[in-house]
Amino acid sequence: MDRIVVSGGTALNGQIPISGAKNACLTLMPAALLSEEPLTLTNVPRLSDISTMTELLESLGCEVASLQGGRVLAIGTENITNHTADYDIVRKMRASILVLGPMLARDGHAVVSLPGGCAIGARPVDIHLSGFEALGAELDLRDGYIHAKAPNGLVGTTYEMPFASVGATENLLMAATLAKGTTVLKNVAREPEIVDLAECLRKMGAQIDGEGTSTLTIQGVDRLGAAAHQVVTDRIELGTYMLAPVITGGSVELLGGRRSLVSAFSDKLEAAGAVIEETANSLIVSRKGEQISAVDVVTEIHPGFPTDLQAQMMALLTLSNGTSVLEEKIFENRFMHAPELIRMGADIEVHGGTAKVHGVKSLKGAPVMATDLRASISLILAGMAAEGETVVSRVYHLDRGYEHVVRKLSACGAKIERISG
Ligand code: UD1
């Protein structure tokens, strides 16, 4: 298995281009299933999660052409020959559940494996399922699969989500575009990826109001058509690399970055000691002084501080001048990076969903293990600031969500390399 070796102590200076958003792409690709005409996506990141979604769509009978080295995907969905999303693919990636809404809405039936647990918590799909039932679907859970039917089509309704789940909002929004009549979805998620999905669906002919607010109103249409859409900038990759010059010192320009994508995160980063300057097409981030200040962080649904940036922020706060309290409100088991950071000399106490991070003067390089996608990059950030060498194993987690991480960081002076085998 590949490892990443980081030698710490070098300030980062330079430019990092930010890729298209993995999480937006993982809902835009299944959205193609709503139409029999092609969907072309540009600014697609080259990641293993995108390959997994491609594999899933191909298993359903779609034709996915990868152009310009994977930057562009042309998805043809004229013939859906199989309506079952198999366990072997779904278990690899929870976002596979997002094919359910589109297939059910277009063809009146779909079978999707239940995703099961994952490293960062139980992550059930009950909100997706109760939303589909509200839209008139008949659901049957057997043999580990969700069997969904709507022989006469889905019917618009008013449905209030018990929690603003990102995936459930996406699945129900997609399904409602082809339901009969009007659907009002209340207490929905407001993430930029949902706004991006709504914009793409509108190009395909959907009638949607309210994206970016907590209520979506969808007027169902009979069919959707072809469209081309550019994937929004990856705000989690952006936030991750904004941390790099703050933890190491130096100044990095994040190309394509916009503060509006990472507002709550930027406020906390500034409180910790970052200087953030916004230009027409980038953010320039540097550290204000020598000290990193302790700050408290609570992860929340958008527009709050994103759970997907909590591990990386923790890496920074291990080196602060005081005690920071990090509260994880979205996932019940998302501090697996803490014991690895402790191996590097961090002082962290975890009690349930709260981590107390007592700042230390320095971190020391160590062999560490990536446990999930965001945990892996937090260890690389810590490694760049640590004394000596850090070896991160299980980097396949990283390949799910960070494109060319070694190339992007070494272009700014980081001493980082990937060792195969
Ligand atoms: C998406 C993102 C993920 C991010 C998360 C929260 C993608 C591909 N992934 O995941 O990177 O960390 O949003 O910002 O976009 N829940 C239920 N029942 C449900 C659905 C969710 O209880 O039916 C719970 C989950 O267990 C979890 C919380 O709600 O504790 C958040 O889940 P959700 O917002 O659905 O996240 P995902 O769409 O899975």
Domain at 212, CATH number:
3.65.10.10
Cβ 128 under 6 angstroms from ligand 1:
yes
Cβ 308 under 6 angstroms from ligand 1:
yes
Instruction: Give me the pLDDT at residue 333, please.
Output: 81
* Domain stops at, among 197, 212, 230: 230
Nearest residue (by CA) to ligand 1, atom 37, is 167
Residues 286 and 392 in one domain: yes
Cβ 307 under 6 angstroms from ligand 1:
yes
Residues 161 and 238 in one domain: no
User: How far apart (Å, rounded) are the C-alpha atoms in residues 277 and 270?
Assistant: 11
Q: Is the peptide bond between 115 and the residue preceding it cis, with omega within 30 degrees of 0?
A: no
Spell out the per-residue pLDDT of the chain, length 421, in tens.
899 999 999 999 999 999 999 999 999 999 999 999 999 999 999 999 999 999 999 999 999 999 999 999 999 999 899 999 999 999 999 999 999 999 999 999 999 999 865 555 567 899 999 999 999 999 999 999 999 999 999 999 999 999 999 999 999 999 999 999 999 999 999 999 999 999 999 999 999 999 999 999 999 999 999 999 999 999 999 999 999 999 999 999 999 999 999 999 999 999 999 999 999 999 999 998 889 999 999 999 999 999 999 999 999 999 999 999 999 999 988 999 999 999 999 999 999 999 999 999 999 999 999 889 999 999 999 999 999 999 999 999 999 999 999 999 999 999 999 999 8
Rg of the chain taking only CA atoms, in angstroms: 21
Residues 221 and 254 in one domain: no
* Residue 396, SS3 per DSSP: helix
Supply the range of the domain harboring residue 352.
3-18+234-419
- Yes or no: say if 255 and 281 are a contact pair by the CB < 8 Å rule: yes
Instruction: Give me the pLDDT at residue 264, please.
Output: 98
User: How far apart (Å, rounded) are the C-alpha atoms in residues 224 and 219?
Assistant: 12
Instruction: Give me the pLDDT at residue 272, please.
Output: 98
Residues 409 and 262 in one domain: yes
Residues 93 and 148 in one domain: yes
Residues 133 and 276 in one domain: no
Of 97, 166, 185, 307, the residue with max ligand 1 atoms within 8 A of its CB, to mutate for a pocket test, comes to 166
User: How far apart (Å, rounded) are the C-alpha atoms in residues 168 and 128?
Assistant: 5
Q: Please list the residues that pair with 350 across neighbouring strands.
A: 355
Nearest Cα to Cα of residue 21 among 185, 170, 207: 170
User: How far apart (Å, rounded) are the C-alpha atoms in residues 402 and 4?
Assistant: 13
* Domain stops at, among 195, 230, 265: 230
* Domain stops at, among 175, 204, 230: 230
Instruction: Give me the pLDDT at residue 1, please.
Output: 85
User: How far apart (Å, rounded) are the C-alpha atoms in residues 175 and 155?
Assistant: 10
Instruction: Give me the pLDDT at residue 122, please.
Output: 60
Residues 331 and 242 in one domain: yes
State how many domains the chain has. Answer: 2
Instruction: Give me the pLDDT at residue 119, please.
Output: 56
Residues 51 and 197 in one domain: yes
Instruction: Give me the pLDDT at residue 386, please.
Output: 98
Cβ 144 under 6 angstroms from ligand 1:
no
Atom of ligand 1 nearest to the CA of 306: 14
Residues 200 and 270 in one domain: no
Residues 222 and 326 in one domain: no
Helix 192-203 / helix 166-176 crossing angle, nearest 10 deg:
10
Nearest Cα to Cα of residue 174 among 353, 33, 327, 61: 33
233: Cβ–Cβ under 8 A, 6 or more apart, which residues? 18, 19, 20, 21, 256, 257, 258, 261
Residues 207 and 328 in one domain: no
Residues 118 and 240 in one domain: no
Catalytic status, residue 118:
yes
User: How far apart (Å, rounded) are the C-alpha atoms in residues 19 and 16?
Assistant: 9
What secondary structure letter does DSSP report for 185? E
- Yes or no: say if 240 and 286 are a contact pair by the CB < 8 Å rule: no
Longest C-alpha distance within the chain, in Å? 65
Ligand 1 center from residue 168 Cα (angstroms): 8
